[in-house]
Amino acid sequence: MLLRDALDAPGFAPLPPRARTVLEALAAPPRRGAHLRVVHDVAVTLTGWARPRVDFDVPAVLFGAATHDIGKVRHPAELSGPGSAHELAGYSLLLSQGIEEASARFARTHGSWDVPGATLEDLLVTLADKVWKGKRVPALEERVTERLGGSRWETFLALDDELERIAAGADERLAFQAAYPTTG
């Protein structure tokens, strides 16, 4: 099965077991599994970098990164095109699979990081979903910098260095994702 191939391929951190179970139960397309795998892998790196700086819920970020786009199984046109219908659909799908709201919320919030009240966990899931492909979003990075605390300038420079390092691996992650079909 191609989904299992995407989830088991070497080179990227394994998904949290509950996330993998949900992807398999919903028969996620292989490319979606590959995408969630690389975003999760980037989240592993980001949380490892950020954790010594501030206290936050690392498992929540990792689960959120591993499931944030699960709603695209119900909105396949959004696999390769624009749209946000997958966000609420993903949230509902995760709830229907017995995932608690605190973990399911990332499917709903990953596209709305700029709303008041977005947590550091929400911001990190969104940041992982952007930088995995080398995309930089200055306003998002500024919000993350604020939440990380410390000297604003030093924190920003350290975050910038880490994001540049992560972005340098974008081609490998894009190739991994593209190696899997959007159906099947």
For position 108, which CATH number holds? Answer: 1.10.3210
User: What single DSSP character describes residue 13?
Assistant: P
What pLDDT score does 86 carry? Answer: 72
pLDDT at res. 77: 66
Is residue 184 domain-resident?
Answer: no
Please check whether residue 181 is in contact with residue 31, taking contact to mean a CB–CB distance below 8 angstroms.
yes
Tokens of 177: 């994702």
pLDDT at residue 88 in the model: 84
> How distant, in Å, are the alpha carbons of 4, 79, 81, 125, 172 from that of 27?
10, 14, 20, 23, 25
pLDDT digit of tens for each residue in the chain (184 aa)?
899 999 999 999 999 999 999 999 999 999 999 999 999 999 999 999 999 899 999 999 999 999 998 998 877 766 666 667 778 889 999 999 999 999 999 999 988 888 888 999 999 999 999 999 999 999 999 999 999 998 999 999 999 999 999 999 999 999 999 999 988 7
φ, ψ dihedrals at 90, nearest 5°? -65, -40
Domains identified in the chain, total number: 1
Distance, CA of 48 to CA of 106 (rounded, Å): 19
Using CA atoms, how far apart are residues 48 and 42, in angstroms rounded to an integer?
10
Q: Which domain holds residue 75?
A: 2-178
What pLDDT, on a 0 to 100 scale, did the predictor assign at position 113? 84
Say what the pLDDT of residue 78 is. Answer: 61
pTM attached to this predicted model: 0.94
Other Cβ atoms within 10 Å of 51 Cβ, number: 12
Residue 183 lies in a domain: no
pLDDT of residue 92: 93
Find how far residue 82's CA is from the centre of its chain.
17
